[in-house]
Amino acid sequence: MSEDKCPKCGSEKLEFGACEHTGCGQLYYPVECKECGFTGRQWYDVVFSGFTDDEGNDIIAIVLKEGKDVEKLYNTLAGALGEQP
């Protein structure tokens, strides 16, 4: 099963509704396939990714899932500080 493809016919012609939070660490989007008529929900697990202030600034923590992401973030930060990675 693939994200953003109909689980019934495989079409990418999906129409999504507004995101709904369950309060249990998951959220979903109501979905309708315009190809075969399937209706249902596309589910996501919510993962903590950090904090911001009220203006959306100052991210304090970021969850990285793969080693390459950590290396990329380190190189980006080092470059921004004018340091050699």
- Residues 13 and 53 both lie in one domain: no
Residue type for position 78: A
Confidence check: pLDDT of 8 > 80: yes
Give the model confidence (pLDDT) of 23-79 as tens digits. 888 899 999 999 999 999 999 888 877 767 777 766 555 555 555 566 666 666 666
* Alpha-helix residue ranges (DSSP H) falling in 1-85: 67-80
- Residues 42 and 78 both lie in one domain: no
What is the rounded CA–CA span in Å between residue 33 and residue 16? Answer: 9
- Residues 2 and 30 both lie in one domain: yes
- Look up the pTM and report it: 0.56
Domain count across the chain? 2
- Residues 40 and 60 both lie in one domain: no
If you write DSSP's letter for every residue of 62-76 in order, what string do you get?
----SHHHHHHHHHH
- Residues 4 and 32 both lie in one domain: yes
- Domain hosting 65: range is 49-85
- Residues 7 and 42 both lie in one domain: yes
- Residues 9 and 27 both lie in one domain: yes
What is the rounded CA–CA span in Å between residue 50 and residue 11? Answer: 34
